[in-house]
A and B are shown apart, each in its own frame.
Chain A
Amino acid sequence: MSDARPSVAEPFTDPLQQHRAAMMGMYVFLGSEIMLFGGLFCVAAAVRLAHAPEIVRASHALHSGIGGINTAILLTSSLFVALGVESAKEGRAKIASGWLGGAAALGLVFLVIKAYEYWMDFTEGLLPVEGVHSRYVDDVQHLFMNLYLIATSLHAVHLSIGIVLLIALSFRVTLGSIKLPERAIVLVTVGLYWHLVDVIWVFLYPVFYLAR
């Protein structure tokens, strides 16, 4: 590139094109993420259709109150990310960095509460851990708890990646290595990922905790 426009990377010719590519790349990636969790939701639906009454009974054994609090925490974190992205677009780096850090902190709180909930499930003999005396009412509850553990832990892995990304972004914005508002797109795309991880939880919560 002969002209001095540092914000345009190699294959692109103008900033708008680069912006569109970044947005589209993230949306396509999120589409594939939806299909990944989609497979799990299909499995949950199939199991539910096959054993409706047992699944409802198994669902009652989960701590829906804790899950509810966690849902509220994640939704609040999404609000923080959205506010952070808006400040970034206006070029207010300090504030944007604060919002992102706050959202990451809420993500961590979610994980701590989730870990506590796993501990409670474990002490109640409901967590499918090898070599531990379990107290399932029936086999379907065992299956349900297995599925619950897989789905929520896969979500937790995604959330942890999101937390790392948010913390890194928060630092980089503070240090000025991401120029705002020119490079706000980085925050926008990571924000989109965070929102999707939230939305996945919004679906996981009723499928597992509120099966009635």
Chain B
Amino acid sequence: MTDVADPKLEEANVGGGGSTETTAQRISYLRAGHSLKSWLLTTDHKRIGVLYTLSITFFFFIGAAAAALIRLDLLTPAGDLLTNEGYNRAFTIHGVVMVWFFLIPSIPNTFGNFLIPLMIGAKDLAFPKLNLLSWYIYMLAGLFTLFILIAGGVDTGWTFYTPLSTMYANGNVILAATAVFIVGFSSILTGLNFIVTVHTLRCPGMTWGRLPLFVWSIYATSLILVLATPVLSITLVLISLERLFGLGIFTPAIGGDPLLFQHLFWFYSHPAVYIMILPALGVVSELVAAGAHKPIFGYQFVVGSSIAIAALGFFVWGHHMFVSGQSLYASAAFSFLSIAVAIPSGVKVYNWTATLFKGHISLDPPFLFAMTFIGLFVFGGLTGLMLAMLAIDVHVHDTYFVIAHFHYIMVGGTISAFFGALHYWWPKIVGRMYSLAWGRVTAIFFFIGFNLTFFPQFLLGYLGMPRRYHVYPPEFQVLNVVSTGGAAVLGIAYLMPLIYLIYSMRYGKPAPNDPWDAIGLEWTTPSPPPKHNFETLPVVQRPPYDYEIELRDEHV
């Protein structure tokens, strides 16, 4: 890294960089056209990444608003804010929007889009037009979702369980199924694009063994996107037809089987959980290596664990059905396979820890978010092990214990990694430094707010509070109030970056090429990168994460 990297990044806090324009900015992808058309018809992966970031942020706040309603209603044991029906609709829209319109596209479609070509030394993704099409499909599905909100919502929960969804639900089940069906195509096209890009567009010297871990994890994610999403698509078609025409596949009255729906749904939706967490694991690998300024410990094992999680993820769906009457032998096998997922997950956590050992750790916001991630991921993972065990699951199934567990992974994990990625690559994306101090404050607020919100839910669940109920016995109120209070703190952590990141776009100090002294092809480009990423195709001659290692003698 020959570029001047300013070690005193704190100075970025002081405004005054103001309106000076750097050479990098004059040639950047952001300046390659200012019209709305140049954004809406762009095939530049970086611009599409930005478009995705804006859209998923919008949907995140819709999902968050629903969550706020839920938490406010749960302040008191009586259901006084929302009606029963209204509560059902609030948690359903929260689930549908957060799962399909935020979490699944969160890291792959934003940072994956922006970074994969930069990280592997390519000019763009393999199919740039398909990439743009994928964004339009996402937006079309998003419009359907907004229409559901206007039309009065859905009340089935995000899982659309039959026969509730096919026979009894009063909401707009078909609209919701259509929205999720459409957004699935966006996922498939994006996954396809990533897989082909990683296979065919790596620059000379970028061998599979030199791929950044983020690229590996997005690659593993893409395999799931491409193979699991179509199963959800056909399942949604089947429940829509069942609701419209009485198809009967999930109706026992004419020989169908409602449990079949759960099998098909979780065949997609459990791997979907790994769609949400694998990219986060990849981000954290990058953040840990950059934060410690050391080569990642056990590169091959971290890669292998990503692939192993993706592969194992296809064979654990039955652990959602331990109490639904499936065969006990099937349950035992699913329990074993689910517990096995702990091995690759553990490999990652141990390898990150070993990477940090004797590292030169800089406590910048990305690193704080990475630490937040590791803590919450370990907690969410260990409680996942408990849930994978048959006997414990019978006790806590469909309680707040499950809610707390998967929010530790999906919110604590994925969103902290998303924020980590945002704070890490922001200078690359907009070419400006943001206030590191405020970034640190946000990380701390996030950690405290998150734990205050969701830790009490473990206790509530273990004590027996079921999920999806808004009327509860008075003895649960204290923990629910703590949880709602925590959600307010968490909400502040979500809003703060909006302020200082947007502020940085105008008043931030121009970012150097490599503000974190990190290694990786994306840091060799100007910040923000030019339209075609690289002046000349880069050639990679060094292993990944080739940070200098100090030997003991050098100190003595």
Binding site for B on A (CB under 8 A): 10-13, 17, 20-21, 24-25, 28-29, 31-33, 35-40, 42-43, 46-47, 50-51, 54, 128, 130, 139-140, 142-143, 146-147, 150, 154
Contact = CB atoms under 8 A, between A and B. Distances in A.
Given A36-B230, A36-B231, A25 B123 contact: no
B254 interface: yes
Nearest to A54: B255
Contacts of A28: 191-192, 195-196, 226
Interface stretch (B125-133, B161-169, B457-465): B125-133
A11 B248 contact: no
Contacts of B256: 47, 143
A40 B199 contact: no
Contacts of A36: 230-231, 233-234
Interface string B473-498: 00000000000000000000000000
Given A11-B122, A11-B197, A142-B248, 7 more contacts: A20-B199, A28-B191, A28-B226, A35-B228, A43-B238, A140-B254, A146-B245
Given A43-B264, A150-B247, A20 B231 contact: no
Interface in B264-293: 264
B6 interface: no
B249 interface: yes
A25 B128 contact: no
B201 A17 contact: yes
A42 B201 contact: no
Interface in B233-251: 233-235, 237-238, 241, 245, 247-249
B248 A146 contact: yes
Nearest to A136: B254
A150 B233 CA distance: 14
Contacts of B123: 10-11
B227 interface: yes
B227 A39 contact: no
Given A20-B200, A24-B200, A50-B255, A10 B227 contact: no
B180 interface: no
Closest 10 CB pairs of A and B: A36-B230, A39-B234, A139-B254, A11-B124, A35-B230, A21-B200, A140-B255, A21-B126, A39-B231, A143-B248
Contacts of A146: 245, 247-249
A10 B254 CA distance: 55
A32 B235 CA distance: 14
Nearest to A145: B248
B254 A38 contact: no
A33 B230 CA distance: 7
Interface of B: 43, 117, 122-128, 188, 191-193, 195-197, 199-201, 226-231, 233-235, 237-238, 241, 245, 247-249, 253-257, 260, 263-264, 537
Contact of A10 (B128, B196, B238, B264): B128
Given A47-B256, A142-B254, A143-B254, A25 B196 contact: yes
Nearest to B199: A24
The A interface, classified by DSSP as helix, strand, loop or mixed, is: helix
A128 B197 CA distance: 45
A75 to B, nearest CB: 25
Contacts of A150: 237-238, 241, 247
Nearest to B195: A28
Contacts of A35: 226-231
A139 B255 CA distance: 7
A32 B124 contact: no
Tell me which of A11, A20, A29 has the highest count of chain B C-beta atoms within 10 A of its own C-beta.
Answer: A11
B537 A13 contact: yes
Given A10-B123, A46-B257, A150-B247, A29 B192 contact: yes
Contacts of A46: 257, 260
A24 B198 CA distance: 11
Given A35-B230, A142-B248, A146-B247, A25 B254 contact: no
Contacts of B43: 10
Contacts of B124: 10-11
B491 to A, nearest CB: 37
A39 B235 contact: yes
Contacts of A43: 238, 249, 260, 264
B192 A25 contact: yes
A205 B188 CA distance: 28
A12 B254 contact: no
29 contacts: A11-B123, A11-B124, A11-B197, A12-B200, A17-B200, A21-B196, A21-B201, A25-B126, A25-B127, A28-B195, A29-B192, A32-B227, A32-B230, A35-B230, A38-B231, A39-B233, A39-B264, A43-B260, A50-B257, A139-B253, A139-B254, A139-B255, A140-B255, A142-B248, A146-B245, A146-B248, A147-B247, A150-B241, A150-B247
